[in-house]
Structure 1
Amino acid sequence: MTPFGARVEGLATDVLLPDGDGPFPAVLIRTPYDRGRYRAEARGWARRGFAAVVQDVRGRFASAGKWHPYENEAADGAATARWTRRQPWSDGRLVAAGASYAAHCALVLALEASGEARPDAVIAAVPALGAAETAREPSGVERLLARAGWWAAHGDRRDSDEGALDRALAATPDLLTHLPLTGLPERLGRALPSWAGLWRHRGRGRLAARAVHAGMPLLAVGGHHDHFTEDTVALWRAWGGPSARLLLGPWGHGLTTAAGPDAGPAHRVNLGDLYVRWARRALTGELAPGRHGALALGGADLWLPSGTDGEPRAQRLRPVHGCAFTADPDRPVRSDDLAVPTGGPPDRCLLLTPPLPRPLDVVGPVRVRLRATAHTRSADWAARLVALTPEGTAGRLAVGVLRRGEPAGRETGFTLELGRLARRLRAGTRLRLEIAGHHFPMHARNPHTGEDPVTAGRLLASRREVDPRSVALMLPVLPSRPTPTDPAKEILR
């Protein structure tokens, strides 16, 4: 293998060529996370016959310019793609690949570039589709903890400090409770001029809308425990290229290096090998048309075809307490604690199912329908579904958060979307449904004043009532034991 460095439009670029005379197909990875961390991945591509091109995005690590997240990637990616195709070692074929922000770089190149800058295939793993998608839930509720961690580590700086937020929280545990949230940089002790601007991005869906007009194959990879799962599935469903493949495992944002508690031996996939095999077939036009793929059934150690969805079934729920409760932003329900307080006034409505009489395969979107009242004009409603095993352990299954604004004291009906679930629930498991007004610090607290939660300087408590007879937990249940599939077979077909 032959390594060398280059600068493309002032951007630091490493190239690793396979052994042999070439020319070779190329894979392009553009990252804000230091191109030096991708040497092993680049060697993997080069060993399998691809020229690996890895680049620091503008303003990060060794690349020139100023770092503006999500702003320069289409133009810089297009310049790099044209440069790559014009090199004597390139055979003209190009795969754009990446995970998280690097997947964003690959996608904007595929969907916004034209001519020779447009890649022939795209691998997008746990894709960060854009600033608006990463900052907020589809309902508009702010993803506070994840964004604070990312900006503390990577925002407005040339290098990264992965532990910045953890250290700050260790020193000041109530760091994220201080108001306004736009003042976070002062409490972190460093300048973050782009932090306040992040929350002004509200236009979701730009890349997903462009995906309809895509002209090349896509491999989308995600995890059931990743905060971008819904965006990954939406991208795959919208993709208009000749073929689209989806792989969803029981993983977090780190994919196979962040396996969830429901992962089994069958879910240990060699992603690097699968990427290379898929890229070869994509570049030679050997992929069958249409949308295919595989999703892991957590807790069952098997894979299902990606189109598998269960039939919505309402689960019987018994109210335990808190049909009337107070959502107090000074005492919010914690996203990082599954314990339910037993003393004092209730802070959530709690409902339980009977123990499951038999195993249940739940695959697809989970929803909660209810009628409820908030005594403030602005209110968030958070629904959290927890599995209680026969042994007494609790595990989070799904969460949904919805922002509502209507006259105080008016009862209204609505539906909370809790995202997708792909899990085998054991016989004897009980399901606990919690309905609350906050899910903090994962999500910002609604101050209940009608002010923007990011700029608000005061908080009000909000009285709530839930009609327990109206609450319907809809689980997508497979009617019979599923037939497993081979994920590689589904991706490479």
Structure 2
Amino acid sequence: MGQIDVPVVPVTTVHGQPIEMRDGTVLRASVHHPADGQGHRTVLVRSPYGEPTLRSEPVTSYLQAGLAVVLQHCRGRGDSDGEFTPWVDEGRDGADTVAWIRAQPWSNGEVVAIGMSYLAGCALQLAAERPEGLKAVVATMTPHDFYDGLNYLGGALAFGSAHQWAALQGLLGALHEARSGDAAAFGRLGTASQLMAGVPDVAVPPADQPVGEVFPGWREWVAHPERDAYWAELAETLRHDRIEVPVMHTAGWFDIFLKGTLENHRRLGGRLIVGPWTHLGRDGTAGDVNFGPRASAQAAMLEAEHFGHLLGNEGGAPVKIFVMGRNEWRDEEEWPLKRAVPTDFHLRPGGVLSTEPAADGAAPTVFPHDPADPVPTLGGNLLLADARNVGARIQESGHPGVRAFTTEPLAEALEVTGEVTAVLHGTTTAPGSDWTVKLVDVHPDGRAFNVADGIVRAPSAAVRHEVDLIATSHVFLPGHRIRVDVAASNYPRFDVHPSRTASTQTLGHPSAITLPVIPA
């Protein structure tokens, strides 16, 4: 029988390590480092979600790679003192923590930061502070801006995901207050738990949603529906022009922060890996579709890719993407792909989708919008109370507020890889309207799955509407059909248009979706 050579790694661990910030607030962390008396490069992870989330960090693997590890609770969360205000303090607190790490005898003065979602935002905000000793960042599934692509998309409130996160923060805040001795916090715990589990009432406008009672930040978000000074001030905490260290980006085709991660990559450079993943799942299944055994983060050796970057051992292609439909990984030299050919598919009368435009004078397509009965969300890049309603879901037909445009069955495979946009020419009888567009793959057996979607919120006077469907890499196989669904709502992914007016939408010509087609 073979023998395995496993090195012994004596480790020193301290839980509840106090680290004082520049304003005197004490944050606490779990610190792990090899007990060999030498200095080590240190991995810093900062989280607002408490100790259970930090359990998922591969501490043992970090230590075996010769790294020290600091897992810190953001202020006002977990064991840390202070008050949690999303995104405001993370850069400064991160920089102060880096300075503390570099002063420790087990540190060699070098720090790297890693995280996913808010944790990745902490790492990027830290990098924007340019602390001495920071060497690299791994940022997974994180926004590039706190307005665009996070709380709002196309001018519409990303209602379902924002509501779910606000309810979670209400829960975490109540837990923190209860630990601090606030007896009234126990009542807020129950309210926040109920809000996390339920679907918000469509009849209640966002500003009046009860989630604002457990998390005041919600009221601020919905009070600023446009990118005004409130959002501009927050943006100053994530200045891409101040980030100098190398950043590695990880994204998911069905992640809520796909746009943010791709934009971070565009602004900062660095390696990019995009899988068929949702925000909370990287096992290769997204919604109703399993993309095969090679689709998981484990199969893609994602942890090893991250470790290589943190250790300064760069390797692999600049871009690595998972091509859905063919269900295979592919290396690329850049994103977006230069060889992609922007191809217009026109929305024609009678529900036809074709590369041929509609004839002059062709009749428009008319459909209703009822704010009391919005088109229900079926999958996409989001987080909802129903964790199953994410990713590629079977698209049920029949809602009166949807108009579908479909190609003939494809004779050959057609690969769409890159940024997806649509331009609609339409009017509404309401004082303003939302225009939603969904790209759908219709299988030969009639099952239809969403690929990408987007929204734009427009005033009533507007007649030309540009809709950003972000991006994808998807092959429509022979015999499949490409479909585009147009509507005026997608709830609760987005809030119902604030006018809350029943209306008639008139979609005219030329209206088209532009797909980045990869030549065969």
Shorter-chain TM-score bucket reads 0.7 to 0.9
Q: Secondary structure at the match of 2:312?
A: helix
Q: Where do 1:62-77 residues align within 5 Å?
A: 62-77=79-94
Residue 192 of structure 1 and its aligned partner are, at CA, apart by 2.2
Q: Aligned pair in 2 of structure 1 residues 336, 49: CA closer, same or farther (>3 Å)?
A: same
1:246 partnered with 2:297 = no
Return the alpha-carbon distance in structure 1 between the equivalents of residues 246 and 100 of structure 2: 22
2:464, 2:114 → 1: CA distance? 43
Q: What's 2:292 paired with?
A: 264
Paired-residue identity, % = 27
**1:51-200 equivalent positions in 2, closer than 5 A:** 51-111=68-128, 113-116=129-132, 119-133=134-148, 135-155=150-170, 157=173, 159=175, 167-168=194-195, 175-185=200-210, 191-200=214-223
Change (3 A) 1:208 1:192: closer
Task: State the alpha-carbon separation in 1 of the partners of residues 89 and 58 from structure 2.
Answer: 24
Mapped partners of 2:218, 2:280: distance in 1: 24
Partner of 2:320: 294
Contact 2:167 / 2:195 at 8 angstroms: preserved in 1?
no
Question: What is the distance in 2 between the residues matched to 1:442 and 1:2?
Answer: 46
Cα 1:223–1:207 change in 2 (3 A) is farther
Partner of 1:488: none
TM-score scaled by length of structure 2? 0.80
Shift of 1:206: 3.1
CA shift in 2, pair 1:182/1:377, >3 Å: closer
| Counterpart mapping for 1:269-288 below 5 A | 269-281=300-312
| Unaligned segments of structure 2, at least 5 residues | 1-10, 21-25, 177-187, 352-363, 380-394
Residue in structure 2 matching 1:211, options 224, 235, 240: 240
Q: What root-mean-square deviation, in Å, do the aligned CA atoms of Structure 1 and Structure 2 show?
A: 2.8
Is 1:17 the counterpart of 2:33? The answer is yes
Which of 393-402 and 192-201 deviates more?
192-201
Tell me the amino acid that sits aligned with residue 7 of structure 1. Answer: P
Match of 1:435 in 2: 486
Distance 1:438 1:225 in 2: 19
Q: Is contact 1:59–1:158 with CA below 8 Å preserved after alignment? A: no
CA separation in 1, counterparts of 2:104 and 2:75?
A: 22
In 1, Cα distance between equivalents of 2:280 and 2:191 = 19
In the TM superposition, what is the alpha-carbon distance from 1:73 to its structure 2 partner?
A: 0.8
- Of 330, 343, 352, the match for 1:303: 330
Pick from 321, 324, 343 the counterpart of residue 313 of structure 1: 343
TM-aligned CA distance change 1:281 to 1:4, over 3 Å: same
Given the superposition, is the C-alpha separation of residues 359 and 159 from structure 1 closer, same or farther in structure 2, using an over 3 Å criterion?
farther
Aligned counterpart, 2:7: none
Query: What is the rounded CA distance, in whole Å, between the counterparts of 1:262 and 1:208 in structure 2?
Result: 38
Q: 1:165 to 1:135 in 2, by over 3 A?
A: farther
Corresponding residue SS for 1:250: strand
Distance 2:346 2:205 in 1: 41
1:77-102 CA deviation, whole Å, 9 max, x = no partner?
11111000110000011101111001
In 1, Cα distance between the equivalents of 2:174 and 2:121?
A: 19
Which residue of 1 is the match for residue 519 of structure 2?
479
Matching residue within 437, 452, 464 for 1:398:
452
Amino acid at match of 1:185: P
Distance 1:36 1:220, change over 3 A: same
Indicate the SS of the match to 1:227: coil
Conserved in 2, the CA contact under 8 Å of 1:14 and 1:35? Answer: no
Provide the C-alpha distance between the structure 2 equivalents of 1:94 and 1:26, rounded to a whole number of angstroms.
5
Counterpart contact for 2:150–2:257, Cα < 8 Å:
no
- Number of paired residues? 449
